Amino acid sequence: MQTSVSSELTLSGGDFKKFQAFLEDACGIVLGAGKEYLVTSRLSGLMRMYDINSVGELMIHLQTGRNPRLRTSIIDAMTTNETFWFRDAAHFRLLEDRVLPAFAATGKLRIRIWSAACSFGQEPYNLSMVIEDTKVRSPSGQIPRVEIIATDISTMALEEARKGVYSGMAASRGLDSGKRNRHFTVRGDGIEVKPEIKKRVSFRELNLTKGYELLGRFDVIFCRNVLIYFSGNQKQDILKRMARILNPGGYLFLGSTESLAGHTDQFEMVSESGGIGYRLKS
Ligand SMILES: C[S@@+](CC[C@H](N)C(=O)[O-])C[C@H]1O[C@@H](n2cnc3c(N)ncnc32)[C@H](O)[C@@H]1O
């Protein structure tokens, strides 16, 4: 059957199936039935640019590897990069009120945090702001040194994240004036994250469905609002591998609509300051 989904692009049932298989294999994203519109609406501009007339033709280009940048551009186009400042703010309160003090009490000198699907960078910069504010409030220097590794599969999102410059809605959504004044510099009609916040964060491209043992070990993992796009098996696999690289007693944070239920029993739920996190069982 041939579905006409946009005025310019038609997508046959067979090509949709091939594209579904490609996307799940490339980045774990499961496109459910009825999501043909997502393929045509997100890819039509790209296909025009590459002078490709149908998704079938696109699949042939991908198989032959004629244009290596095409694959990256498709992944950029098909990932949902929605994010904003202090999304699920209770997670950051839980980190500040319970997790950081608990680590500090053990005399730990260094903490590593992984923002595992960082999109345009708001999440890792939020983490860095929380650390900075905590440090300023405890001048006695009891806060361990914190390193934040931020990863994503989208090269386009990472490029923007590294700049740390935001304008329009991205500059205001979720950001209160206190944090804006403390942690940003005004740049034209936008704002830029200050160097002391940026310096704690390093960005890397990483596909969550592939191995990530090379990242080292972590004390805290923020993996929020990304597992929802994956199959049950893929979620289970990712959670198992995250548990493997978390230090004993480490914490995992998921998006507020996501849960571990039915996927793993390696964590215990921790609830404080209105937020829920998961602590690796010993
Ligand atoms: C909705 S955003 C979530 C951003 C942020 N964590 C938050 O909660 O606001 C989802 C991010 O997951 C990334 N993503 C999707 N599939 C991925 C994969 N296989 N590996 C790594 N990142 C992926 C997307 O590029 C996107 O930036």
CA 138 – ligand 1 centroid, Å: 33
Q: Which atom of ligand 1 is nearest to the CA of 28?
A: 19
Q: Give the integer Cα–Cα distance in Å for 77 and 45.
A: 10
Position 246 scores a pLDDT of 97
> Full-prediction pTM beyond 0.85?
yes
CA 58 – ligand 1 centroid, Å: 24
Asked if CATH classification 3.40.1710.10 holds for the domain at 89-280, the reply, yes or no, is no
Give me the phi and psi of 158, to 5 degrees please: -65, -40
- Verify whether ligand 1 is closer than 6 Å to residue 236 (CB atom): no
pLDDT at 86 over 60: yes
The answer to whether 189 and 169 have CB atoms below 8 angstroms apart is no
Position 67 scores a pLDDT of 82
pLDDT in tens, 91-117: 999 999 999 999 988 989 999 999 999
Confidence category of residue 8, pLDDT binned at 50, 70, 90:
low
Position 141 scores a pLDDT of 61
pLDDT in tens, 34-52: 999 999 999 999 999 999 9
Pocket test for ligand 1, best of 88, 115, 152 (most atoms within 8 A of CB): 152
Position 251 scores a pLDDT of 98
- Verify whether ligand 1 is closer than 6 Å to residue 209 (CB atom): yes
| 147 exposure class (CB count in 10 Å sphere: 0-12, 13-18, 19+) | middle
- Verify whether ligand 1 is closer than 6 Å to residue 74 (CB atom): no
Letter for the amino acid at 209? Answer: T
Q: Which atom of ligand 1 is nearest to the CA of 27?
A: 19
- Verify whether ligand 1 is closer than 6 Å to residue 127 (CB atom): no
pLDDT at 3 over 60: no
pLDDT at 4 over 60: no
Position 139 scores a pLDDT of 66
For 2-78, the fitting CATH number among 1.10.155.10, 3.40.50.10140, 1.10.3720.10, 3.40.50.300 is: 1.10.155.10
- Verify whether ligand 1 is closer than 6 Å to residue 238 (CB atom): no
Average pLDDT, the chain: 93
Q: Which two tokens stand for residue 135?
A: 């440090």
CA 263 – ligand 1 centroid, Å: 19
pLDDT in tens, 141-189: 667 899 999 999 999 999 999 999 999 999 999 999 999 999 999 999 9
pLDDT at 273 over 80: yes
Position 5 scores a pLDDT of 43
pLDDT in tens, 242-269: 999 999 999 999 999 999 999 999 999 9
Domain ranges within the chain, ordered by starting residue = 2-78, 89-280
pLDDT at 214 over 50: yes
* 196 CB neighbour count, 10 Å cutoff: 12
pLDDT at 2 over 70: no
pLDDT at 224 over 90: yes
Q: What percentage of the chain carries pLDDT values higher than 90?
A: 83
Pocket test for ligand 1, best of 73, 226, 254 (most atoms within 8 A of CB): 226
- Verify whether ligand 1 is closer than 6 Å to residue 123 (CB atom): yes
pLDDT in tens, 191-200: 999 999 999 9
Query: For the chain, how are helix, strand and coil distributed in percent, rounded to 5?
Result: 45, 20, 35
Confidence category of residue 212, pLDDT binned at 50, 70, 90:
confident
Letter for the amino acid at 273? Answer: S
